[in-house]
Amino acid sequence: MSLDNMFCTRCGDGFETNEKIVNSNGELWHTNCFVCAQCFRVFPDGVYYDFEGRKYCERDFQVLFAPCCGKCREFVIGRVIKAMNANWHPACFRCEECNMELADAGFIKNAGRALCHGCNTRIKADGLQNYMCHKCHGVIDGEPLRYRGEVYHGYHFTCATCGVELDHTAREVKNRPGYAANDVNNLFCLRCHDKMGIPICGACRRPIEERIVTALGKHWHVEHFVCAKCEKPFHGHRHYEKKGLAYCEQHYHQLFGNLCYVCNQVIAGDVFTALNKAWCVHHFSCSVCDTALSTRSKFYEYDERPACRRCYERFPAELRRRLRRAHHYTLRRN
């Protein structure tokens, strides 16, 4: 092509013989005309960005068109992640809980934060006070199946005997002959488990595979057979039964036994009863002279307490007449 038919794209002038010409995508430029459309400077190292028919140096292109990363605040050149009303480098867009990259894994917006699916499920479960399945990481609605320290959806397992899909009532049988300790075939539905004759704890409804307590017509784990009042395990100590419940000696007497009117302690031995009250043997005495009374003693009621005959005879006549209207009492011993 003759130079007579060649013209600069920018200034429209022709080219001199032996002049260096810039050819960009079929367009010709004087070297001094081939400059940034924004700052009008020659491109450093010949690097430029072509956008909508205009050419820009790297700096001006970034300022004018390149997005700024929402995390590192640097310009994003190349792949841009647009999310959460911002732009991101792929490596900068991460889960705000576990810091996993989300560019290819996907994310869920939770309370204004970008979370991976696993963290979102866990936080959702915590907020609902539910459990998260250890296998599928989904929220468990209702009761979970508890297995070896973790919680699961019951439908992830089947009964080792009948093959039915399990639920939270499934039972694990440890030390089953012929099976390894970590074998999932140790899980059974409640019906098949009961047929095996393994006792179930009356408190936690779990199998009892070690020491067992039999009481109140039920079986119990040792640590689950407790006083109905203080909830302390009996651990082999004597218990007292009342209306289908078990009590330790102290609380049984406090709730159903006799307390001494004087010392307010449980009366473990003989009980003296009179005037709708109970006394220890060594605390039943005259309320005036403090003389001990026995089963052979006769006494009078004085201010809802016992008074011996000797003290009674020392009372004023008018008081004795009033007390005489009530017959003297005889102590009863239980």
Going from N- to C-terminal start, the domains of the chain cover 208-256, 258-331
Q: pLDDT tens for residues 192-215?
A: 877 777 788 888 887 787 788 988
pTM, rounded to two decimals: 0.30
Q: How confident is the model at residue 227 (pLDDT cuts 50, 70, 90)?
A: very high
pLDDT band at 175 (very low <50, low <70, confident <90, very high): low
pLDDT band at 16 (very low <50, low <70, confident <90, very high): confident
Residue 201 has a pLDDT of 87
Domain 258-331, CATH among 2.10.110.10, 3.30.980.20, 2.102.10.10, 1.10.357.10: 2.10.110.10
Cα angle 242-246-249, degrees, rounded to a multiple of 5: 90
Beta bridge partners of 150: 147
- CA of residue 138 relative to chain centroid, distance: 15
- The pLDDT value recorded for residue 313 is 84
pLDDT > 90: what percent of the chain?
5
pLDDT of residue 147: 85
Confidence of residue 332 (pLDDT cuts 50, 70, 90): very low
Mean pLDDT value of segment 102-120: 84
Question: Looking at domain 208-256, what is its CATH homologous superfamily?
Answer: Cysteine Rich Protein (2.10.110.10)
Structure tokens at 295: 């089963």
pLDDT tops 80 at residue 243? yes
Q: How confident is the model at residue 93 (pLDDT cuts 50, 70, 90)?
A: very high
Cα–Cα distance, 147 to 131 (Å, whole number): 13
Whether the domain at 208-256 and the domain at 258-331 fall into the same CATH topology: yes
Q: What is the DSSP string of 152-202?
A: E-GGG-B-TTT-PBP-TT-EE-TT-TTS-TT-GGGEE-HHHHHHTT--BBT
Which range in 145-149, 162-166, 196-200, 280-284 is most confidently predicted, on average pLDDT? 162-166
Q: Taking the CB of residue 147, how many other CB atoms lie within 10 A of it? A: 19
Question: Taking 80 as the threshold, does the pLDDT of residue 170 lie above it?
Answer: yes
Residue 115 has pLDDT above 50, yes or no: yes
